[in-house]
A and B are shown apart, each in its own frame.
Chain A
Amino acid sequence: MASDRGRPRRGGRRRRGRSDELVPTWEDVAREHGSFIYTVAYRLTGSRDDAQDLVQEVLLRVRRGLETYKPGSMHGWLARITTNAFLDDVRRRKRRPADALPEDPDWVLPPAMAADEALAHRSLPDEVQKAITDLPEDYRVAVVYSDVVGLSYQEISDALGIPIGTVRSRIHRGRDRLRGALS
């Protein structure tokens, strides 16, 4: 995970925030955290093209939001922006069904076997990613927040504006489905 602290860059506008920390410029964020944003975006979308589009959208929002950024958890802030942009896109696609993500009729669960054995044999990242992508958006976001970004339940609750009990439920149900999909 990259450092949350940026380095000065020519032409960038930098200012000092709380605790005298320097707020990174847009270019700092793109350079130092682009990989993190892309990873979160890919985990949410399951598509390289969609993830790249999402990164662009996130960086546009980051640029507009840097003036109000308060030094702290850069990754938490970026994950929040990424997730909001993702959910905005999901809502937009639902309003315009023609743009909806295509279903993948070829994706079927493998023959049943013992869960532990199955997980031991089927742990390729692509399959895990596929299982994540197949989760309902609410569960997917909660799982990504928890297990990709590493936020606490309270932080997820704050980010999504939902009760912590709902966070628990979404994470558990998401993981339970992952377990089923990977077994």
Chain B
Amino acid sequence: MSAIEPTELFSAYIDGELDPDEIEIVEAHLAERPELRRELDSLLRARQLVRDLPLLPLPDGFRPIPRSRSPLSPSPTRRRVGVGSLVAGAVATVVVWGLLLGTGPVGEAVVRPDLASVVGSHISVMGEGNSSSSGAEDMPMDPEVITAPEYMDGDFRLMYAEKKGDMAQAMYSDGIRRISLFEQPGRVDWDSMPDDGEMMNIDGATAWHGAIRGYDVLLTERGGMVYVLVGSGNSEPAMEEMTTKMPGADSSVWHRLIGVCEQTVDFFGLG
């Protein structure tokens, strides 16, 4: 203790955080230099000012879910949250990519989407369960963390964004609900879609909508790209609006995804 100035112990002294020997040192110092009492008192007052600060109510209109200051970030930024809990998701995502569309020339592969695995990836990214994907241990894992807009539809904040080859997944959450967006070049073998879903033709684009493992899933394709959206809840009336706002082919992958999904919050009844 000899290297420490007794005044350095003043805060711990007034907090009752000193041992008896240290208290003795401080009090002896104060006895020798009574003028330091003033310093001690002002420290005490400074502490009290902070302690007297009020508990603040949540601002009016604040909802305990992510909100944005602007609808979308003007420049996409990289953001990852809870890296540790996302590792399993990254593994599952890589697997899903392999299972979702298979291999083939970009934009030409005709595939049978493994929607259970897609939903498994959606679940596992948030660390809420194990993906149903199989063979994860056998797959090479070199997903690329990519940039994506931080917000979707205002309230939904980016939680995860990775890309494997030409295939990308982004997950957004408002803190309670999540929605995953998948994009991959290719074409869908529509005959292979599950019977318990609903085939539809919206704005000239074929789509399938159904429930997989209790999650709401919409799959569609346009311009040689396959889009899968996974979320919870349902709001079919909004589907048509969503699908009429398909993005232009010249926009970036993320703006295409966001363009596709800009109305998805309504579609999934998440608004």
B64 in the interface (beta carbon within 8 A): yes
Question: Do the beta carbons of B64 and A119 come within 8 Å of each other?
Answer: no
Question: Do the beta carbons of A175 and B82 come within 8 Å of each other?
Answer: no
A55→B85 CA distance, assembly (Å): 20
Question: Do the beta carbons of B175 and A52 come within 8 Å of each other?
Answer: no
A64-B127, A172-B8 as given contacts; A42 in contact with B82, CB under 8 Å: no
A118→B54 CA distance, assembly (Å): 21
Point out the residues of chain B lying under 8 angstroms from A175, CB to CB.
Answer: 11, 43, 46-47
Contact of A43 among B43, B53, B127 (CB under 8 A): B53
A59→B207 CA distance, assembly (Å): 35
Contact of A35 among B10, B56, B175 (CB under 8 A): B56
The smallest C-beta distance from B124 to any residue of chain A, in angstroms, reads: 13
Question: Do the beta carbons of A36 and B17 come within 8 Å of each other?
Answer: no
Task: Please indicate which of the listed interface residues B51, B127, B176 has the most CB atoms of chain A within 10 Å of its own CB.
Answer: B176
Question: Do the beta carbons of A52 and B55 come within 8 Å of each other?
Answer: no
Question: Do the beta carbons of A179 and B46 come within 8 Å of each other?
Answer: yes
Point out the residues of chain A lying under 8 angstroms from B159, CB to CB.
Answer: 60
Question: Do the beta carbons of A153 and B17 come within 8 Å of each other?
Answer: yes
Question: Do the beta carbons of A168 and B67 come within 8 Å of each other?
Answer: no
The smallest C-beta distance from A112 to any residue of chain B, in angstroms, reads: 13
Question: Do the beta carbons of A57 and B17 come within 8 Å of each other?
Answer: no
B50's closest neighbor in chain A, by CB? A147
Question: Do the beta carbons of A168 and B11 come within 8 Å of each other?
Answer: yes
B144-169 CB contacts (< 8 Å) to partner A? 157, 159
Question: Do the beta carbons of A35 and B67 come within 8 Å of each other?
Answer: no
A34→B57 CA distance, assembly (Å): 8
B16-55 CB contacts (< 8 Å) to partner A? 17, 38, 41-43, 45-47, 49-55
A30's closest neighbor in chain B, by CB? B64
Contact of A56 among B42, B55, B66 (CB under 8 A): B66
A26→B65 CA distance, assembly (Å): 11
Point out the residues of chain B lying under 8 angstroms from A30, CB to CB.
Answer: 64, 175
* Interface of A, helix, strand, loop or mixed by DSSP: helix
Binary per-residue interface labels of chain A (136-162) against chain B in the complex, 1 for a CB within 8 Å, 0 otherwise: 000000010011100011000000000
A178→B45 CA distance, assembly (Å): 10
A39 in the interface (beta carbon within 8 A): yes
A163→B66 CA distance, assembly (Å): 35
Contact of A57 among B11, B45, B58, B81 (CB under 8 A): B81
Question: Do the beta carbons of A35 and B55 come within 8 Å of each other?
Answer: yes
A31→B45 CA distance, assembly (Å): 33
A179→B9 CA distance, assembly (Å): 16
Question: Do the beta carbons of A60 and B47 come within 8 Å of each other?
Answer: no
Binary per-residue interface labels of chain A (84-110) against chain B in the complex, 1 for a CB within 8 Å, 0 otherwise: 000000000000000000000000000
B54's closest neighbor in chain A, by CB? A125
B141 in the interface (beta carbon within 8 A): no
Task: Please indicate which of the listed interface residues A43, A55, A171 has the most CB atoms of chain B within 10 Å of its own CB.
Answer: A55
The smallest C-beta distance from B85 to any residue of chain A, in angstroms, reads: 6
A82 in the interface (beta carbon within 8 A): no
Question: Do the beta carbons of A59 and B54 come within 8 Å of each other?
Answer: no
Contact of B81 among A48, A60, A179, A182 (CB under 8 A): A60
A132 in the interface (beta carbon within 8 A): yes
Question: Do the beta carbons of B56 and A42 come within 8 Å of each other?
Answer: yes
Question: Do the beta carbons of A116 and B81 come within 8 Å of each other?
Answer: no
Rank and list the top 5 A-B pairs by shortest CB-CB distance, nearest first. A172-B11, A30-B64, A147-B50, A115-B42, A56-B66
Given contacts A56-B66, A60-B157, A178-B46, 5 further A-B contacts (CB under 8 A): A57-B81, A60-B159, A64-B126, A128-B50, A128-B53
25 inter-chain pairs at a CB distance below 8 angstroms, sorted by A residue, are A26-B175, A35-B56, A35-B57, A38-B57, A39-B54, A43-B53, A48-B59, A49-B69, A55-B58, A55-B64, A59-B64, A60-B81, A61-B81, A64-B126, A119-B42, A146-B15, A148-B50, A152-B17, A153-B15, A168-B8, A168-B9, A169-B8, A175-B43, A175-B47, A178-B50
